[in-house]
Structure 1
């Protein structure tokens, strides 16, 4: 199964690369104008200069040849030069990815540490106080968007009660607010999924049999029920990771975190196409690999799914 999934990765990346390469043409962005605007502040570029820049970038060649040239450079790690800074894109992308990977991992761990136990305990006492509190909190966590939650947390924990810094990156304290903001949605969704799956597993025959054998509630809940209930959460964990990595634009802009979201935001505003294309390609590749890792983890947790894999 893993080999079959790995074989499909190049095809997915290739298809995404074609769409990303065509992005300027699909959105109507004039690449030559974007380059010249980053170099000289002219409302209307000189036709001779524009033709020279087009030849320099290879834009005067047939479209398939342009793609093969661009994709060949990508495969060798050459992501081009930034229009804004005229420096290689690869080091900028690597630095931003490192920051976003740390922030996303913290958010995902925090979401799992909050959402999974909350969902399990809510399913254990369905209809009770814990269940009602978890249900309301998870609905709010899913409904409140990050661009509203981030300023609220800043006002509460950085302004009204100055416990944490509101801006910057580099110290553990500066990572708390952005990680908490980013973790709210996946934590709420994990709590809902875990509650529903745990409640379903608790009524299955093997759990009833485990209780009949005299096993304690804790053993039945965590060893037999919660393990199977986590398969839905783990199957989505790869999508959570990729979604958090690419969707951290609001959080990284609000908290001045120099990650991939902030890099893509600045690149879109400045029409820095090489940076935008490299960032989107990195997100696609990470999403594919994260989905594969989540599927392997799901098979490790669920023996039924493992037995259903064709040999």
Structure 2
């Protein structure tokens, strides 16, 4: 088990290193001039004075060779120094981690809803394939995957904040402020969890040991949950890390619509303002969270499935 875990974790430093190179090269890949971006953020000037541009180039270290610039930037990142925002001149790290905490809360709530609603729905749908419940769950999950967040968010606002004014449309700080953003974010992972759980359950219920347990007279509920659901959840568990990272980086629409001060909103504002240090640090953080969360979820799923563990 330990050897398998080490083999799965071995590529992670390489992935993070490649991601850091791509993030560092982002201004050059997108054609953004850091000097012009700084001046636009601070003075609203798009055409810099040559003397000012030369001074900023030296201050930003852009006059050094590219490999040296990368190594300097990477060394600062490894020490926790993510630079200064072009717009506010404030350190990026505190505002980035504050926004990460908000987005992590929303992502965790969305995954909790997916686990509580989507997983049982998928399990019960697989119990009688083609039955009424199966058709309802399948149709609802297809709809949940198809409806984008930029459609669902305004609909929820119109229903629960305008027509039935029981929840706030925007804001952050009160428990009620979390409800609508969390429900919006939860739709896709809940629908996908139901689909994956149903598919895995159909496969698990056809395995020989499950068929043998049924033949021995083990109750249907015990077969369903003790023998079937535990193994069927391996795929959902493996993908939960990617779900979490995807919700962190992909919650831009939700956080903008509901005025949530999360990571998605921070990156959205940084892109509009071409605030490169915030964009680079945010993207690198999302990649790091995705890699670590994916490895942890994969390890948990491997530990829960003895068949997959022995095969690995």
Q: Report the TM-score, using the length of structure 1 for normalisation.
A: 0.97
Structure 1 CA distance, aligned partners of 2:122 and 2:154? 27
**Aligned with 1:170 (options 157, 166, 173):** 173
Query: Which residue number corresponds to residue 298 of structure 2?
Result: 295
Select the residue among 262, 285, 288 that pairs with 2:288. 285
Residue correspondence of structure 1 range 248-263 to structure 2 within 5 A: 248-263=251-266
1:8 is matched with: 11
Separation in 2 of the partners of 1:93 and 1:6? 26
Please list, as runs of the form range in 1=range in 2, the aligned pairs for 1:90-109 lying within 5 A after superposition. 90-109=93-112
Of 62, 66, 86 in structure 2, the residue corresponding to residue 63 of structure 1 is 66
Equivalences for residues 1-311 of structure 1 within 5 A: 1-309=4-312
Once the two structures are TM-superposed, the CA of residue 2 in structure 1 deviates from its matched residue by 2.1
In the TM superposition, what whole-angstrom CA distance separates every residue of 1:180-233 from its partner, at most 9, and x where no partner exists? 110100110110111111112112221111112221111000000111111111
Q: Give, in whole Å, the separation in 2 of the partners of 1:302 and 1:90.
A: 39
Structure 2: runs of 5+ lacking an equivalent: none
- Where do 5+ consecutive residues of structure 1 fail to align? none
**Distance in 2 between the 1:67 and 1:52 partners?**
20
- Shift of residue 308 of structure 1? 1.6
Q: By how many angstroms is 1:169 displaced?
A: 1.5
**Alignment RMSD (CA, Å):** 1.0
Residues 233-262 of structure 1 show CA distances to partners (whole Å, capped at 9, x for unaligned) of 111111111111110111111111101000
Moved more, 208-217 or 50-59: 208-217
- Larger mean Cα displacement after TM superposition, 122-131 or 261-270: 122-131
* Displacement of 1:19: 0.3
Q: 1:8 offset after TM fit, Å?
A: 2.2
What SS is found at the alignment partner of 1:169? coil
For 1:101-145, what per-residue CA distance to the aligned partner results, in whole angstroms no more than 9, with x for missing partners?
Answer: 111000011111111000011111222211111111001000011
CA distance in 1, matches of 2:106, 2:50: 45
Structure 1 range deviating more: 44-53 or 33-42: 33-42
Structure 2 CA distance, aligned partners of 1:199 and 1:7? Answer: 33
